[in-house]
């Protein structure tokens, strides 16, 4: 029985997790964000209306669901308030149904200034971060100097600690990066009004989740970013600063593995990545234009054009392994409509030696070139199809091949942006 479901991305983020979280949460009691911060961008379309969430769990669009931002997430109180207000404007009230871990590290202005200053200084070696201060905020956590959500409850102490931390940052910002200093009084001034709004949301979220488990409530764990942006398992150093693979759920919530009943890997029918770093199947031709335009491949957080490419089944298999995936959800299948042929990367070759190399043997991504299998495309529309048997034969063929390579089932297929554009292949998801 799939009581507690983890939904995570198997590629470089932007797989379309938000929509799937929203869909599967309709039957759940809790939805939990467990890593990342407002670098994420989850786009949801409900009855044609688009909502983009960065920090608040996507499942909160359902009025009966309780949202949790757990300890693994870094939280910008200013961004959180912006999102709460945006939802309020759209008549979605999160009153008494959003809880934030008191252990979540804060993201504040000095993190953002540092993120931007570093990227600027790196020049052509920049990572292409979202510039949201996520890396520096996680650094503070590991360095044991972070201000955390719980610290907002002690205003006097907060001001003292803020002054100290800002002076640490200013030393680097001014002396090394030649940037303007940050004024801690302004950081404090902006922060104080947020405390009243979030005060009652601050909780021991691990405890809340364990109570929910005891009460046999269903929980959806919502991943952000994707497996190859993971700080340990991703294409380092072109990664984010958290564990976007399965381990992030455990450390980021305090819920152990025996309570995770099903792990869904969300996979786009092709590949995209924003920011810099290795991308073996990247395209620079008309197919890139097709993916960009038809798939609206522009970042929902930064607006940057996403790099696009064919599906990379080598890295997908690695994702299946490192995440212990139970099944896959293939998203944006409809974006492939109208292509004459479709390719899947099934192996990597070393460009110098022509040897086939396995994922774990890659020490230099520059030397990797993809080996493709090519399949016929389809000319019919798959947009909005809701039954597997209504898909064109060629689309079924493509999906069958993905299952064959990855050795796990495709349990959900998304055929368009709307909540209802979905094929539920596995029939006992909602038991
Ligand atoms: P950071 O997370 O802002 O430090 O950025 C590090 C890398 O992760 C950059 O390549 C970003 O573009 C990428 N990244 C961060 N969040 C997301 C996301 O939600 N989707 C896709 N890429 C992301």
CATH of the domain at 179: 1.10.300.10
Is 130's C-beta closer than 6 angstroms to any atom of ligand 1? Answer: yes
Is 306's C-beta closer than 6 angstroms to any atom of ligand 1? Answer: no
In whole angstroms, give the CA distance from residue 109 to residue 107: 7
Same structural domain for residues 311 and 385? yes
Rg (the chain; Cα; Å): 22
Nearest to 81 by CA among 61, 112, 107, 59: 107
- How do beta strands 311-312 and 341-350 pair? parallel
In whole angstroms, give the CA distance from residue 230 to residue 354: 29
Same structural domain for residues 212 and 348? yes
Same structural domain for residues 410 and 318? yes
Give me the catalytic one of 22, 27, 38, 42.
Answer: 42
Same structural domain for residues 234 and 153? no
Nearest residue (by CA) to ligand 1, atom 10, is 275
Sole residue written with tokens 């998304």: 414
Nearest residue (by CA) to ligand 1, atom 9, is 129
In Å, how far from its chain's centre is CA 333? 19
Whether 308 is covered by a domain: the verdict is yes
Tens of pLDDT along the chain (431 residues) come to 558 999 999 999 999 999 999 999 998 999 999 999 999 988 887 777 888 899 999 889 899 999 999 999 999 999 999 999 999 998 888 989 999 999 999 999 999 999 999 999 999 999 999 999 999 999 999 999 999 999 999 988 999 999 999 999 999 999 999 999 999 999 999 999 999 999 999 999 999 999 999 999 999 999 999 999 999 999 999 999 999 999 999 999 999 999 999 999 999 999 999 989 999 999 999 999 999 999 999 987 788 899 999 999 999 999 999 999 999 999 999 999 999 999 999 999 999 999 999 888 888 888 899 999 999 999 999 999 999 999 999 999 999 999 999 999 999 999 999 989 999 998 777 66
Nearest residue (by CA) to ligand 1, atom 2, is 240
Q: Per the structure block, which two tokens stand in for 288?
A: 């890139």
Is 234's C-beta closer than 6 angstroms to any atom of ligand 1? Answer: no
Q: Per the structure block, which two tokens stand in for 206?
A: 């691990």
Same structural domain for residues 123 and 168? yes
In the prediction, which pLDDT does 339 show? 97
Whether 300 is covered by a domain: the verdict is yes
Longest dimension (CA), the chain: 66
Same structural domain for residues 264 and 396? yes
Whole-number Å distance, alpha carbon 226 to ligand 1 midpoint, is 9
Whether 430 is covered by a domain: the verdict is no
Whether 102 is covered by a domain: the verdict is no
In whole angstroms, give the CA distance from residue 28 to residue 42: 19
Is 139's C-beta closer than 6 angstroms to any atom of ligand 1? Answer: no
Is 11's C-beta closer than 6 angstroms to any atom of ligand 1? Answer: no
In whole angstroms, give the CA distance from residue 125 to residue 135: 16
Whole-number Å distance, alpha carbon 79 to ligand 1 midpoint, is 17
Supply the pTM of this predicted model.
Answer: 0.96
Is 240's C-beta closer than 6 angstroms to any atom of ligand 1? Answer: yes
Q: Which of 200, 220, 237 is the last residue of a domain?
A: 200
Same structural domain for residues 90 and 119? no
Whole-number Å distance, alpha carbon 274 to ligand 1 midpoint, is 7
Same structural domain for residues 373 and 318? yes
In the prediction, which pLDDT does 427 show? 77
* C-beta of residue 370 within 8 angstroms of C-beta of residue 281: yes
Same structural domain for residues 27 and 144? no
User: The domain spanning residue 247 has which CATH number?
Assistant: 3.40.440.10
Same structural domain for residues 42 and 150? no
Q: Which of 174, 200, 226 is the last residue of a domain?
A: 200
In the prediction, which pLDDT does 199 show? 95
Beta bridge partners of 265: 8, 328
Q: Which of 41, 43, 115, 275 to mutate to test the pocket of ligand 1 (most atoms within 8 A of CB)?
A: 275
In whole angstroms, give the CA distance from residue 116 to residue 237: 17
Stretch (H or E) spanning 406: helix 393-406
HSE at residue 38, side-chain half, CA atoms within 13 A, is 22
For residue 67, give its domain range. Answer: 4-94+204-424
In the prediction, which pLDDT does 431 show? 65
In the prediction, which pLDDT does 2 show? 54
> In sequence order, which ranges of 299-368 are alpha helices (DSSP H)?
313-323
Stretch (H or E) spanning 250: helix 247-253
Whether 104 is covered by a domain: the verdict is no
Is 135's C-beta closer than 6 angstroms to any atom of ligand 1? Answer: yes
Phi, psi of 221 (to 5 degrees): -100, 120
End-to-end, the C-alpha distance of the chain in Å comes to 7
Same structural domain for residues 216 and 344? yes
Same structural domain for residues 230 and 149? no
Residue 184, helix vs strand vs coil:
helix
Q: What share of the chain is helix, strand, coil (3-state, %, to 5)?
A: 40, 20, 40
Nearest residue (by CA) to ligand 1, atom 21, is 13
Q: How far is CA 11 from CA 270, 271, 284, 343, in A?
A: 10, 7, 19, 17
Q: Using CA atoms in the order 231, 233, 234, 235, what is the torsion angle rounded to 10 degrees?
A: 110
Q: Which of 135, 170, 200 is the last residue of a domain?
A: 200
Whether 182 is covered by a domain: the verdict is yes
Beta bridge partners of 231: none
- The count of structural domains within the chain is 2
Whether 103 is covered by a domain: the verdict is no
Give me the catalytic one of 14, 230, 411, 418.
Answer: 14
Whether 239 is covered by a domain: the verdict is yes
> Quick one: 171 exposed, middle or buried, by C-beta within 10 A (0-12, 13-18, 19+)?
exposed
**For this structure, is 14 an active site residue?**
yes
Q: Per the structure block, which two tokens stand in for 88?
A: 């309020």
- How do beta strands 49-53 and 66-69 pair? unpaired
Whole-number Å distance, alpha carbon 18 to ligand 1 midpoint, is 16
Nearest to 369 by CA among 381, 354, 383: 354
Is 40's C-beta closer than 6 angstroms to any atom of ligand 1? Answer: yes
């Amino acid at each position: 029985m799939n009581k507690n479901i983890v939904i995570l991305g198997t590629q470089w983020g932007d797989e379309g997790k938000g929509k799937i979280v929203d869909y599967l949460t309709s039957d759940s009691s809790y939805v939990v964000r467990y890593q990342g911060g407002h670098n994420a961008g989850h786009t949801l379309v409900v009855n044609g209306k688009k909502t983009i969430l960065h920090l608040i769990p996507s499942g909160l669009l359902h009025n009966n669901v309780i949202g949790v931002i757990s300890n693994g997430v870094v939280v910008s109180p200013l961004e959180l308030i912006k999102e709460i207000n945006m939802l309020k404007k759209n008549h979605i009230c999160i009153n008494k149904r959003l809880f934030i871990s008191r252990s979540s590290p804060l993201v504040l202005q000095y993190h953002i200034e540092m993120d931007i200053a570093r990227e600027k200084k790196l020049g052509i070696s920049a990572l292409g971060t979202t510039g949201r201060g996520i890396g520096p905020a996680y650094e503070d956590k590991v360095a044991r100097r972070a201000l955390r959500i719980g610290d907002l409850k002690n205003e006097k102490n907060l001001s003292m600690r803020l002054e100290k931390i800002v002076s640490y940052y200013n030393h680097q910002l001014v002396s090394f990066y030649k940037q303007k200093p940050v004024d801690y009084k302004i950081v404090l001034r902006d922060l104080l009004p947020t405390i009243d709004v979030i005060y009652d949301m601050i909780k021991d979220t691990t405890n809340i989740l364990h109570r929910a488990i005891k009460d046999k409530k269903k929980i959806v764990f919502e991943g952000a970013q994707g497996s190859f942006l993971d700080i340990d398992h991703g294409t380092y150093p072109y990664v984010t600063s958290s564990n976007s693979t399965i381990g992030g759920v455990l450390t980021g919530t305090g819920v152990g593995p025996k309570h995770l009943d099903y792990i869904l890997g969300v996979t786009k029918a092709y590949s995209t990545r924003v920011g810099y770093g290795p991308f073996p199947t990247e395209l620079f031709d008309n197919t890139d234009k097709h993916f960009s335009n038809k798939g609206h491949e522009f970042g929902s957080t930064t607006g940057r054009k996403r790099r696009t490419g064919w599906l990379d089944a080598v890295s997908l298999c690695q994702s299946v392994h490192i995440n212990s995936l139970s099944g896959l959800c293939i998203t944006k299948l409809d974006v492939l409509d109208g292509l004459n042929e479709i390719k899947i990367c099934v192996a990597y070759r070393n460009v110098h030696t022509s040897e086939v190399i396995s994922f774990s043997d890659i020490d230099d991504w520059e030397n990797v070139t993809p080996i493709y299998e090519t399949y016929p495309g389809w000319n019919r529309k798959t947009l909005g199809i809701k039954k597997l048997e209504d898909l064109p034969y060629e689309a079924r063929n493509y999906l069958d091949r993905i299952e064959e390579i990855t050795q796990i089932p495709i349990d959900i297929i998304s055929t368009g942006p709307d909540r209802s554009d979905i094929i539920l292949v596995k029939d006992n998801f909602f038991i």
